[in-house]
Structure 1
Amino acid sequence: MQSVKFNEWNPGTSSTRKYQEGASFDLTFRNLSYTTGKGKKAKHILHQISGSFKSGHLTAILGPSGAGKTSLMNILAGLKKSGIEGRVDVNGAKRKFKTFRKQSAYVTQQDHLLKNLTVDEYMTAAAHLKLGNKVSDKEKKSTIEQILKTLGLTNTQKTRVKCLSGGECKRLSIGLELIDNPAILFLDEPTSGLDSSSTLQCVALLREIARSGRTVVATIHQPSSRLLDHFDHLYIVASGSCIYQGPPGSLVPYLKTVNLNCPSYTNPADFVLDVASGEYGDVLPQLTSGIKNGRIIYEDPSIPPLATPSHNRQGDVCEDANEDDVEKMKNKENRLTYATPFHTQVSVLLERTWRSIWREKMLTQVRFTTHILFGIFFGLLYQAVGNDAAFTLNNAGMLYFNLIFIVFTSVMPTVVTFPLERKVLIREHLNNWYSLKAYYLAKLLADIPFQIIFPTVYLVIVYFMTGQPLSLQRFSMLLCITIFTSLVGQGIGLVVGAVFDIQSAAFMAPTFAIPFLLFAGFFINFKSIPSYMNWMTYVSFFRYGFEGSMLAIYDYDRPPLDCSEPYCHFRFPQKFLEKFDMAHSSYSICVFGMVVYFVVMRVAGYFLLRFKVKSVR
């Protein structure tokens, strides 16, 4: 992999630029404690640990499973905000979350990426969102090309993410966060799932980034001795306390101070993890005490210290603040949180979302084919029943099952895909790419054309094959109700998908619809419903959809129907409406009810999604 001096990147002089070139930041934390749960269920994860991560150094956080390393990472990155005691400083000044989000980036262990975008499309969208409008397209393109060259992704620019290898996806995840040149980069298990060659390439890249003056911190599960040598600084956690902080070369000498001798030809990382797991006795209190739970850094006098980058250093103590940088941080506090204005965020996200939907087979090809096939199926099943009084009940059943089909074909694709997209949203939103409102609006706008086109194609087939009245007014009224039903169904999918994972959402969505189906007026007349349950008919969107469909076909002075039998009880449409207690109903109220549902579902979806994103913290 080719190296590059990251502090020479110059994506522009926009006021939305996070840092002046060369600015970098030291991260320190003191007496940090973290507790989950309350009362008797409270669990203490971290116990007043302290530490210091210098700019220009690549730091590895090590520890056995359950030691608290991921919790520490999430707290330092600002992902966790509750249940925390202690203080986190940036260059000696107390961390302010709004500013810190603009200073840092967090690459999660799982590479949550949109699978149907190409590498170039992904990087371009990220550049527009993270660099702002004041940076020219030429400068953005130059920045992207340099990052891709550094990451070894130049030959994959036109490749879709779903076709990338695990190592390429990991490098792309890192590259997306490097676009705006963050001063502090956090990575949770960046080598997870990679082979030994890709792991070394990934860590070598991180070291190059750190050498440019960035502060790079990564959790590593179990590094090899060769991989360990690539790190400048180790921070080892055991049982929520720090048992070592210092250079890799000083680890073995430090362990000797408590009579722990690492055997020859043994990986020091494996040895210290065995120690942390308690396999060498109860020595953790001694190790924790030896470095005062992270308050000091152990360095073996016989090993020359690592040279600290000359920029942004004012003393030997890492907590000393660069006054100019601190002042810049304070001045930025009142600036816009995001690099780009709201309308630009919506525009970029709308284009990106549209590409993803268009290329997703289930959201386009499968849905389109399903609407055509089922349209023909229903047309053949209910052939020519629309104007025959002998089959009015069959026609009502057809109108009712139309609604069921439209609802479920709009709910289920959203339920299946949205929880996956939610993971991408959480990563990008917490890394300050865009606002939640911009994402949600773009998501709604991108899918609306499909929610209009697919039901229209379906209804055209069914309407004419089933012999409904050849009236543009009636067709338009039925189409209006059908489209609103589709939009409401999508809203339900967003609500359920915003809260639950895929498995739970796939169960909850159909279950959620059952009460609405019962109180639509098809299975039971409104007059037959007990008075104490009658209110449920007014909150059933199926009621407004079915009632509106029936009124569109049979109301508004429709003449008597044809009759293929000697006697047809419902030859007069008004009489048929009376059977369903709809003779005095209003089509306008049905449309209004659907509009209310449309609005309520989308507002509820937004606030539930907002709650879900906040609950991650």
Structure 2
Amino acid sequence: MDNQEVSVDIEAQIVNNDDDQTLPFSIFKKANRSVTLKFENVVYTVKVKEAKGWPWQTKDKTEERTILKGLTGIVKPGEILAMLGPSGSGKTSLLTALGGRVSEGKGKLTGTISYNNKPLSKGVKRTTGFVTQDDALYPYLTVTETLVYTALLRLPNSIKRKEKIKQAEAVVTQLGLDRCKDTIIGGPFLRGVSGGERKRVSIGQEILINPSLLFLDEPTSGLDSTTAQRIVSILWELARGGRTVVTTIHQPSSRLFYMFDKLLLLSDGNPVYFGLGSHAMDYFASVGYSPSVERINPSDFLLDIANGVGSDESQRPEALKAALVEVYKTNLLDNVINEVKGHEDLCNLPIGSPCGETKNFGDWSTTWWQQFSVLLKRGLTQRRHDSFSGLKICQILIVSILCGLLWWQTSISRLQDQIGLLFFMSSFWGFFPLFQQIFTFPQERKMLEKERSSGMYRLSAYFMSRVVGDLPMELILPFLFLAITYWMAGLNPKFENFLLTLLVLLVHVLVSGGLGLALGALVMDQKSATTLGSVIMLAFLLAGGYYVRHVPVFISWIRYVSIGYYTYKLLILGQYTESEWYPCGENGKLKCYVGDFEGIKHIGFGSGLVPALALAAMLVGYRFVAYLALMRIGKSKSG
């Protein structure tokens, strides 16, 4: 097909955007600046652990595997580079490396990746869009809410709040999302927008900032041909606005194939073709590799030879792959290197040259307080279905009424029963908030990685918004429980004793929730975190001073790190005094001191200052540990 005919056909497939000029913002306007992306001899190596072969093997074998094997290329403003290759060929690894998102500790990346002949800076990174394959989005936010919150976080303060919202709404319109703008995103078990609409929302999040660089991982994966065509048409139009677009793609239709300016074909991490997409078939024909049939989708043919499947069935796949790599080195590599090196002279021209000017950006687009406010509102909107869940409220109501009935008007005459209720309160409100909070960060890991990698907000703003956003239900539910159970059970009727018990219980809930946050952030796996949390809380429970009163010395230290132990002691101090009387002896005819009661004596009536300080330290300490654990999320080697 003639290149001019292809270009005309593509332009005919894209909606005329003249009307966009009337909108406050157009996604198809020119990029603020142009960026030339170059990569030279990029090698990426990871260490892979092999599973144990037999039960008596004591150590896992670790081998070093090279994912990318010396890749070189260049993508200029206005071009779309499509990276094509079989599964496992290194497409996503290269895209991640080029986008500056290789996680620390995951592997060793060598070679040179430059942006206008400079390393990746924070300024460039914040004007870079990166669309992941799995579309990490909050399921309970609507399409409009998703884009508006993104605009408020990513667009700079030079743009007023109202204008940011208008830009988000303009993106909704221009991406054809008006029909579903008030529909929630949805998830695996939650009905929401379609796959194509999800993908357009993900792209919309990135193009809101009018990026100079746009990376996309499998943007057409799982979509029908018509939807895929619409997605690639949007990318084509964005590139014509002076952006540099890099995308991985698995098996595009022939119609999509000719929309890509450049093509990089990978086979087992090796390059076998880099150049104009329209010249790929001619190149392979010139070196002796032609399809066995006349009319074939070019991408099908290219994937076949990248997999080692040629017209000569007698040739082994490994031999064909090795031959293709050698042919590439002989026929194309020097041309690619010359193109990369030749572009350096252009970039030495004064400002205004094709390389453009690299603008200095501040560390953050918005202030800490703005980030905190937007993240808090977004978090409350996303979690409104869960935080104010009728099921959760009913659960607490049932437990509180059941406790009130079981301990109905116990009074001090049934001291053993009363302290049993106090211990149950410390146990229940240890486990409940722990398991509510332990899933927080594992569930949001993908979103946190995505947004932190793009420099959307400070980690401290996110963390504080999450902590503050959870406070209402963290404090309302235990208050509801105590307001019902306390008076039904006949605990100390003085109002100051009720307030002291409430204060202790609320602090206990916050400390237990903090432990859940810390465990979740440290482990980042829901099953493992749940198991670890159960073991720790059971250990605290057994050492809490109710079940075992004479704990052996070698294990007695557990009580001094037990949340339940300190809470139980403060609850007792909040109910009784050491010199208070209670009926004892046969038929309760005698009077005994509460301080001498066997179940209380080993706890003691000393000062409550030490347990209060211990809980205060845990309140801060667990959250500090959680924050430190989160600092590793979203970090990359390239900035």
Same fold (TM over 0.5): yes
**Cα distance in 1 for residues equivalent to 2:221 and 2:197:** 13
Render the CA deviation track for 1:437-478: whole Å, top value 9, x for unaligned.
110111111111221111101111110111101112211111
SS of residue matched to 1:324: coil
- 1:566 counterpart = 2:590: no
- 1:426 counterpart = 2:449: yes
State percent identity of aligned pairs. Answer: 31
- 1:230 counterpart = 2:259: yes
Name the structure 1 match of 2:481. Answer: 458
**Cα distance in 2 for residues equivalent to 1:513 and 1:616:** 37
Match of 2:517 among 494, 515, 535: 494
Name the structure 2 match of 1:158. Answer: 182
Q: Counterpart amino acid of 1:84?
A: L
Name the structure 1 match of 2:7. Answer: none
Match of 1:261 among 283, 290, 293: 290
Name the structure 1 match of 2:301. Answer: 271
**Contact map agreement 1:107 1:174 (CA 8 A) in 2:** yes
**Cα distance in 2 for residues equivalent to 1:192 and 1:434:** 29
**Contact map agreement 2:135 2:199 (CA 8 A) in 1:** yes
- C-alpha deviation, 1:258, in angstroms: 2.6
- 1:538 counterpart = 2:560: yes
Q: Counterpart amino acid of 2:618?
A: Y
Change (3 A) 1:191 1:134: same
Match of 1:45 among 67, 71, 76: 67
Match of 1:62 among 84, 95, 113: 84
**Contact map agreement 1:5 1:208 (CA 8 A) in 2:** no
Change (3 A) 1:214 1:542: same
Match of 2:382 among 356, 372, 379: 356
- 1:34 counterpart = 2:60: no
Change (3 A) 1:512 1:203: farther
Change (3 A) 1:388 1:31: same
Name the structure 1 match of 2:11. Answer: none
- 1:176 counterpart = 2:198: no
Q: TM-score, normalised by structure 1?
A: 0.88
- C-alpha deviation, 1:295, in angstroms: 4.2
**Contact map agreement 2:594 2:600 (CA 8 A) in 1:** no
**Contact map agreement 1:246 1:297 (CA 8 A) in 2:** no
SS of residue matched to 1:480: helix
Q: Counterpart amino acid of 1:25?
A: V
Map 1:191-590 → 2, pairs under 5 A: 191-262=220-291, 263-280=293-310, 281=315, 282-292=319-329, 295=333, 317=343, 320-321=346-347, 323-324=350-351, 328-329=357-358, 332=360, 335-358=361-384, 360-361=385-386, 364-385=389-410, 387-389=411-413, 391-498=414-521, 499-525=523-549, 528-555=550-577, 559-561=580-582, 566-567=587-588, 572-576=593-597, 579-590=600-611
SS of residue matched to 1:134: coil
Q: Counterpart amino acid of 2:307?
A: S
**Contact map agreement 1:112 1:424 (CA 8 A) in 2:** yes
- Higher deviation after alignment, 318-327 or 343-352: 318-327
**Contact map agreement 1:258 1:286 (CA 8 A) in 2:** no
Match of 1:122 among 138, 146, 155: 146
Render the CA deviation track for 1:37-62: whole Å, top value 9, x for unaligned.
29962111111110112221222111
**Cα distance in 2 for residues equivalent to 1:46 and 1:100:** 24
Change (3 A) 1:246 1:152: same
Change (3 A) 1:173 1:264: same
Gaps of 5+ in 1: 13-18, 299-312
Name the structure 1 match of 2:10. Answer: none
Q: Counterpart amino acid of 2:329?
A: K
Change (3 A) 1:201 1:580: farther
- Higher deviation after alignment, 122-131 or 340-349: 122-131
- C-alpha deviation, 1:377, in angstroms: 1.3
- Higher deviation after alignment, 43-52 or 113-122: 113-122
- C-alpha deviation, 1:323, in angstroms: 4.6
- C-alpha deviation, 1:98, in angstroms: 2.1
Render the CA deviation track for 1:402-449: whole Å, top value 9, x for unaligned.
122222221222233432222111111111111111101111111112
Name the structure 2 match of 1:303. Answer: none
Q: Counterpart amino acid of 2:620?
A: V
- C-alpha deviation, 1:592, in angstroms: 1.6
- C-alpha deviation, 1:570, in angstroms: 8.2
SS of residue matched to 1:42: strand
Q: Counterpart amino acid of 1:279?
A: V
Length, aligned pairs only: 587
- C-alpha deviation, 1:315, in angstroms: 12
- Higher deviation after alignment, 363-372 or 253-262: 363-372
Gaps of 5+ in 2: 1-13, 49-60, 187-191
SS of residue matched to 1:28: strand
Name the structure 1 match of 2:173. Answer: 149
**Contact map agreement 2:24 2:170 (CA 8 A) in 1:** no
**Contact map agreement 1:375 1:462 (CA 8 A) in 2:** yes
Q: Counterpart amino acid of 1:324?
A: I
**Contact map agreement 1:9 1:143 (CA 8 A) in 2:** no
SS of residue matched to 2:351: helix
**Cα distance in 2 for residues equivalent to 1:110 and 1:568:** 72
**Contact map agreement 1:62 1:235 (CA 8 A) in 2:** yes
**Cα distance in 2 for residues equivalent to 1:75 and 1:251:** 25
Change (3 A) 1:570 1:42: farther
**Cα distance in 2 for residues equivalent to 1:123 and 1:206:** 18
**Contact map agreement 2:83 2:263 (CA 8 A) in 1:** yes
Change (3 A) 1:412 1:616: farther
- Higher deviation after alignment, 156-165 or 318-327: 318-327
Match of 1:608 among 614, 625, 629: 629
- C-alpha deviation, 1:123, in angstroms: 1.7
- C-alpha deviation, 1:76, in angstroms: 0.5
**Contact map agreement 1:400 1:546 (CA 8 A) in 2:** yes
- C-alpha deviation, 1:22, in angstroms: 4.3
Root-mean-square deviation (CA), in Å?
Answer: 3.0
**Contact map agreement 1:24 1:214 (CA 8 A) in 2:** yes
Change (3 A) 1:569 1:254: farther
- C-alpha deviation, 1:253, in angstroms: 1.1
Name the structure 2 match of 1:307. Answer: none
Match of 1:102 among 126, 146, 156: 126
SS of residue matched to 1:152: coil
Q: Counterpart amino acid of 1:239?
A: D
Change (3 A) 1:253 1:151: same
**Cα distance in 2 for residues equivalent to 1:564 and 1:221:** 82
- Higher deviation after alignment, 258-267 or 94-103: 94-103
Match of 1:112 among 117, 128, 136: 136
**Cα distance in 2 for residues equivalent to 1:571 and 1:355:** 55
Q: TM-score, normalised by structure 2?
A: 0.85
- C-alpha deviation, 1:544, in angstroms: 0.8
**Cα distance in 1 for residues equivalent to 2:504 and 2:481:** 13
